[in-house]
Structures are given as structure tokens and as C-alpha cells.
Amino acid sequence: MPPLRAVCCLWYARDMKHEIFWQNPGYVIRPELKEDIECDYLIVGGGITGVSAAHFLTKFGAQNVVLVEKQYIGSGATGKAAGTLVTRGERDLTDMIKEYGLEKTHLLWNKTHEALRALRQIIATEAIDCDAESQDTLICGFPGKNYNNLYEEYEAEKRIESTTRILEGDELKKEINSPLFNHGVLSAQHGLCVDPLRFVQGFSGVVEKNGVRIYENTAVVQAINGIARTNHGTIKYKKIIWAIDVDYPSDDIRNLRTTIIVTRPLTSEEVMKIGFAERKKVVWDSRKNENYFKLTKDNRILLGFGGIVVHKKHRKTDPHFPHLKQLQGFIKRIFPYLDLEIEYTWSGHFGVNKHWSQGPFIKVSENEATISGAGSQVVCFMAGEHIAHKLLGKPSPSELYFGN
Ligand SMILES: Cc1cc2nc3c(=O)[nH]c(=O)nc-3n(C[C@H](O)[C@H](O)[C@H](O)COP(=O)(O)OP(=O)(O)OC[C@H]3O[C@@H](n4cnc5c(N)ncnc54)[C@H](O)[C@@H]3O)c2cc1C
């Protein structure tokens, strides 16, 4: 008879699927390119960056736009993500104010809010079926020897956001009933929760409706002198946009591996007990280790953690075991009173700029643009707008953020 611990592990291994939770069975993958074609704008990569660039190019009047994706739309980082589209990036506001000053930080902050509003509007007006829900952001702090910058962050956010509140005691418990945290900063309407796969695939349908020709299962294997070669056809283009994130061949781009678990659905009593009855929110822990969680539309807890730099070619989605162990331990510490089986777990990869404090890696010349390593889908969307402006020869409203 194996010891009890080993039996538990076997039970976990049997019930937990090493699979991505997001599925879109109704999605029909578009045919691959099998002829020689011409276009004005060629976008390589069908994640949120490429689809956003296509959206803004057509919105600003560009015609003859082609997008090619080597697998299917959303098959990269975008469709494996947690689906929390948030205004706050990885950087503390306190650090940003120190670096840019209050006025510039305020402008950047407003620009991100604007992008989030634009995303909400696209989803609503185009009726993209992706379980979209507006949400608050709650950053939580721990008792005892702590990461005190949360109070400082609150003071910083208060300078540009009148609704932000600091929560302690019962006020906090009402928002999140966990013995782990004793204070938190609540920012109202700072996020949008989506099923990221259905969102980006739905968004690709919108840009296609607006005239963009899309080919899936079509990898660009070479692009020289205005001719892109794929396996079964060539594309003659005037301008090209590389939106291939971690696949972009530059030492400045790192491949970050991160892991997610999704539990069984909670009962409505459990949802009430953890403090999620009235409001949707994404919760972050204030340590610098990227722990975050939210409820999915069907009331499962989705908890994510981790960032480990791995080899550029690494793409496996089986869970990174040290992350998984950390997540299993963390969920028990957040909600010790719940018995939560984990039903799904996977790891995904995304690009980050080696010089991360500079934001995404963006290169623009007259006929070519690259966006990679944005690390956040809202920033990918903003970067798509930025380079659409640049390639059309128009001033970009995000110049302050992304440079020239
Ligand atoms: C597990 C996980 C959780 C995350 N959670 C969040 C989150 O909650 N919120 C958030 O904002 N961000 C999150 N991120 C980060 C975010 O998802 C990424 O920063 C973003 O999706 C990058 O988008 P992209 O379009 O640039 O890249 P991708 O989505 O990777 O798209 C690039 C596409 O290019 C294609 N491609 C590559 N080479 C070629 C070629 N030669 N020819 C044709 N096509 C090619 C790839 O197949 C791929 O589909 C998460 C990432 C991961 C992995």
C-alpha cells in the first residue's frame, strides 16, 4: 500500500488535465495561402498584436492588407493567456512617476484607460462572444514583514485616480475573504476579463469583415526585397509588420514561461464566501512574483504564476512543475477553507523586452515595423495602433509611450 501522500499525488495526476482551458470548437481555421499574391501591407503573426495592427490599418483607411499566421489565430501567447486585460502594467506607478514625472505618467495612464475602453467598445459593437466582463483590480498586501510599497502605490495612484481606495479589516474581507492578506488597493473598472482565444479569433473575424485577407497555416519563411515566401505561395508587399512576439530573432527578446491553474467551478455559496458575489475583479499579490487570480465566467478560480526565462525555441504547454507546485500551495493558503480540485493546468510562453523598463521592443522604418515583447495584451493593442499610424505616415498619439 503506497503512503497517503503518494495516493493524493496519483489522484491529482489523474484528474488534472495538462491542457489549456480555453477552447473554441466553433472556430473554422481559414485556408492556407496556395498562390502568389500582392498587397500593400503584410502583417506576419495572428496574435493580439497582428490583429490589432490590421484593425487600425483598415480603420485609418489602408487598403489591400494581408495577415498571415503560421498555425491558427490565437495559437501563440494570446490564446493561452489568462485573459485579464488591465490598465496596470508590471511596473509600479511609484517608479513610473519617479522616472517620467507625474504629468507624463498621467498621460500614459489615460492612454491605457483609453485603449481598454476601445477594446470594450469593439467587443460590444461587434458582438464578439468572449465572456467579456469589466472588472476591478485589487492588489493585496500581506501582514507582518511586508512589501510596504503598496501604501506608497496607493498614494501614487490617488494622485491620478480619484476612485482608488485602500482596504483593510472588514472592508478587505468583503472583497476577498482570505487570511493571507491584510490590506489591499482597489481600483475600480481597471480591467476587462475575457476568454482570450475566443476574443482574438472573434476580433480576426471583425478585421476580415473590414477587408483584411487572412491566411492561416501559412508561415513566412523568408522576406526580402518586398517578397515574402511561404510554403505554397509568395506575397509581394509594399510594407511589412512583424507581429511574431517571441519568434522575432533578436537577443533583446526573452522567452518567458509562465503557468496557470484552473479549478473546478465554485458553487454560488462558495463564490459568496470568497467575496466575489457582487463584483468581478482580478486580484494580484503585491510581491513581485506575478501571482494573480480571477473567476472565469463559469466561476472557476483561474490562478497564474511565474516567469522563468527559457530557451527561445521552448514552446511546450505541459506545466512547469515548480510553478505548478507553487500554485497548488498558494491556492490553499489563499482559501484554506475551500477544497478546490484543479481541473486544468498549462504553461505558456511570451516575449519580454530584455530592457523591460523601456516597454515593448518596437522598430519602425519607412517600410517595415516590428512589435515584440509587449508582455501585456492592452499594450499589444496600443502598439498595433502606434505602428499603423507610423506606417501610414501619421503622427502617433502614443509617441510618448513608444518613442519615435
Ligand atoms: C500563460 C500566459 C498568461 C498571460 N496572461 C496575460 C494576461 O492575463 N493579460 C495580458 O495582458 N497578457 C497576458 N500574457 C501575455 C500576453 O498574452 C502576450 O504578451 C501577448 O499575447 C503577445 O501577443 P502577440 O500577438 O505579440 O504574440 P502571439 O500571441 O504569440 O502571436 C504571435 C503569432 O505569430 C505567429 N508566427 C510566428 N512566426 C511566424 C511566421 N514566420 N509566419 C507566420 N506567423 C508566425 C505565431 O504562431 C503566433 O500566433 C500572458 C501570456 C501567457 C503565456
- 296-305 confidence digits (pLDDT tens): 999 999 999 9
In a domain, 4, yes or no: no
Ligand 1 atom 51: residue of nearest CA: 81
How much is the average pLDDT of 253-269?
A: 96
Please name the residue that has the C-alpha cell 501563440.
76
- Structure-model confidence comparison of residues 358 and 219, the more confident one: 219
Same domain, 165 and 280: yes
- Mean pLDDT on 141-146: 73
Q: Could you tell me if 345 and 272 lie in one domain?
A: yes
Residue 124 lies in a domain: no
What Cα–Cα distance (Å) separates residue 220 from each residue in 8, 73, 227, 241? 47, 15, 10, 12
CA of 182 to the centre of ligand 1 (A): 35
Mean pLDDT of 185-211: 95
312 pLDDT higher than 90: no
> Which pLDDT does position 89 carry in this prediction?
66
Mean pLDDT of all residues in 389-401: 91
54 ligand 1 Cβ < 6 A: no
Query: What kind and span of H or E run contains 12?
Result: helix 4-15
**Which of 215, 350, 381 most suits a substitution to test ligand 1, by most atoms within 8 Å of the C-beta?**
350
Q: Flag whether 29 is in a domain.
A: yes
Same domain, 164 and 43: no
Domain endpoint, select from 335, 353, 371: 353
Asked whether residue 2 carries a pLDDT value surpassing 70, the answer given is: no
pLDDT score recorded for residue 260? 97
Does the pLDDT of residue 325 top 90, yes or no? yes
Protein residue with its CA nearest to atom 37 in ligand 1: 244
Residue 162 has pLDDT above 90, yes or no: no
pLDDT of residue 147: 56
Whether residues 224 and 276 share a domain: the answer is: no
Residue 372 lies in a domain: yes
Q: What is the dihedral of CA 383, 387, 390, 391, to 10 degrees?
A: -170
CATH of the domain at 71: 3.50.50.60
Cα of 185 to ligand 1 centre, how many Å?
A: 29
Asked whether the predicted pLDDT for residue 7 surpasses 50, the reply is no
Q: Based on the domain organization, do 256 and 138 belong to the same domain?
A: yes
Given pLDDT bands bounded at 50, 70 and 90, which one contains residue 279? low
- Is residue 63 very low, low, confident or very high in pLDDT (cuts 50, 70, 90)? very high
| DSSP-derived 3-state class of residue 398 | coil
pLDDT of amino acid 285: 81
Cα–Cα dist 364/118, whole Å = 24
Cα(248) to centroid of ligand 1, in Å? Answer: 12
In angstroms, what is the span from residue 243 Cα to ligand 1's centroid? 9
| Whether residue 247 is found in the same domain as residue 375 | yes
Task: Provide the pLDDT for residue 92.
Answer: 78
- Is 306 within the bounds of a domain? yes
Q: Do the domain assignments include residue 110? A: no
> Cβ-count burial of 139 within 10 angstroms (0-12 exposed, 13-18 middle, 19+ buried)?
buried
Residue 395 pLDDT exceeds 80: yes
Q: How far apart are CA 384 and CA 263, in angstroms?
A: 34
The pLDDT of residue 171 is above 90: yes
Do 322 and 370 share a domain, yes or no?
no
Same domain, 168 and 264: yes
User: Distance between CA 105 and CA 101 in Å, rounded?
Assistant: 6
Question: Model confidence at 11, in pLDDT bands (50, 70, 90)?
Answer: very low
User: What is the pLDDT of the chain when averaged over all its residues?
Assistant: 91
Q: What is the pLDDT of residue 21?
A: 98
CATH number assigned to the domain comprising residue 151: 3.30.9.10
Q: Which of 353, 371, 386 is the last residue of a domain?
A: 353
Q: Which residue has the higher pLDDT, 327 or 86?
A: 327
DSSP 17: B
Domain endpoint, select from 353, 373, 389 = 353
Q: Among the atoms of ligand 1, which is closest to the Cα of residue 51? A: 25
Whether residue 224 is found in the same domain as residue 161: no
Ligand 1 and 260: CB distance under 6 A: yes
**Please, are residues 109 and 379 in contact by the beta-carbon 8 Å criterion?**
no
**Number of structural domains, the chain?**
2
Place of cell 484593425: 55
Distance 245 CA to ligand 1 centre (A): 6
Q: Count Cβ atoms within 10 A of the Cβ of residue 290 and give its class: 0-12 exposed, 13-18 middle, 19 or more buried.
A: middle
**pLDDT greater than 60 at residue 280:** yes
Instruction: Assess whether 347 and 360 both reside in one domain.
Output: no
Q: What is the pLDDT of residues 370-379, one digit of tens each?
A: 999 999 999 9
What's this model's pTM, rounded to 2 decimal places? 0.94
CB 50 less than 6 A from any atom of ligand 1:
yes
Regarding whether 202 and 182 lie in a shared domain, the answer is: no
Residue 313 confidence (pLDDT): 87
- Answer yes or no: is 41 within a domain: yes
Residue 13 has pLDDT above 60, yes or no: no
Answer yes or no: is pLDDT of 287 > 80. no
pLDDT at 4 (0 to 100): 43
pLDDT mean over 33-51: 98
Where in the sequence is the domain holding 150, given as residue range(s)? 134-192+252-353
- Same domain membership, residue 29 and residue 161: no
The Å distance, Cα 52 to ligand 1 centre, comes to 12
Residue 2 lies in a domain: no
Beta strands of 142-194 (E only): which ranges?
165-168, 183-193
Reported as a pLDDT band with limits 50, 70 and 90, residue 404 is low
Residue 278 clears pLDDT 80, i.e. is over it: no
Interatomic CA distance for residues 364 and 370, integer angstroms: 6
